[in-house]
Amino acid sequence: MKTYGWVVSLAGTFIAGYLVAVIYHPKPSTEAFYHENSQTELATLENPVNSNAKDTGLLFKNNHLDYNSANHPVSKPAQVHVNHIPNNIELSNKAPHEAKPNKAAQFDTLKHTIQNNPASLASSIEQLAVLDVDNPDFDLLLSAIQSSANPSSKQALLGLAEQYAMLSDAQSQQKFLSLLSSASEIQSPLLVQGLVDLVTLEQTDTNTRVEALSLLKPYQISDPERQIITSELEQQVLTTNADEAEMLLSQLMRFSHNQQRSVIASDMLYNSSQAIQLAVLNNINSGSIPAADNLKTMLLDMASDQQDSLWLEAQQTLLTSFDLSQQEYARLSAN
């Protein structure tokens, strides 16, 4: 009987102790520590910044990145894997209204970390490799790397860009161009060839083609390559809509030799639609087409004929972009 009472008493003491432990030491919840989409989280090696996990992802410490060189950041983009283990418990447990994203604070923290912690540049390059290019976090992280004073940032971005230079899918092409967007001059033959290939691909859309062309310098490519590019651009100018024609025409002039530019422009003024003619006038006004004498003669004829739908635009172009004699000015004033 005494033994039975002693057992009951011991059981009661154990249960009471368990309840106290549960009440005063509750098991922490892990739900708030994980993002709904782990591939959209940014990683940094120092203090994370408040963020709404559903929109922008948490900035967190990441000690699981195996990275050897900023110059060769990723062997193959498709094989990059990052273990996301956020450990900012204070941030994770905040109420939703207290964890709204602060892009400016995120940017400042990332920039400071990349600038002052060499290892964080490596982890940031790894993160760029796994983020989709249309994810806002991609632009945030890329801008932070580009604007940091870390002397290795430029080379690290160019090294990552090389991994996408030969890939033809749209996502890789856009990431390739984004990574090169801040480069003042691209010297790597692999990167130059990647831009040439992107420009000459038939399925490349106009905006992507113009973006790639703007990163190229005519002297970086051979004359046969320039001939291929200018021939394709000329056909595209003649077959696309007016807005795209103006952008493409500007690049066509960049890659054409000086003696070819006025010839191409005069042919388009003579044989093309009104939309193409207007694109030529706009490019003359912007300076991408030189104000050559043969063009002045054609524009004087257009400006003198009020039956021409662009006579007024031709007159304005002559007045603003050409060196006119008194006789030529008098001819314009007579209309």
Residue type, position 6, single letter: W
Is the Cα dihedral 279, 280, 285, 289 positive or negative?
positive
pTM: 0.66
pLDDT at 185: 83
**How would you class 323 by CB atoms within 10 Å of its CB: exposed for 0-12, middle for 13-18, buried for 19 or more?**
exposed
Output the pLDDT for position 240: 87
Query: What is the Cα–Cα distance from 129 to 107, expressed in whole angstroms?
Result: 18
Q: Can you read off the two tokens belonging to residue 228? A: 């291929």
Predicted confidence at residue 52, as pLDDT, reads: 37
Q: At what angle do helices 311-321 and 293-304 cross, to 10 degrees?
A: 140
Q: Which residues contact 258 (CB under 8 A, 6 or more apart)?
A: 290
The whole-angstrom separation of Cα 175 and Cα 58 is 22
Residue 241 has what pLDDT?
86
In the chain, which stretches have pLDDT less than 70? 1-101
Count CB-CB contacts under 10 A for residue 97: 7
Helix (H, G, I), strand (E, B) or coil at 126: helix
Residues in the chain: 335
CA dihedral 250, 256, 260, 261 (to 10 degrees): 20
Residue by residue, DSSP assigns 50-89 as ---TTTT--EE---------TTS--S-GGG---------H
At residue 101, the pLDDT reads 59
* Exposure of 40 in the CB half-sphere (CA atoms within 13 A): 16
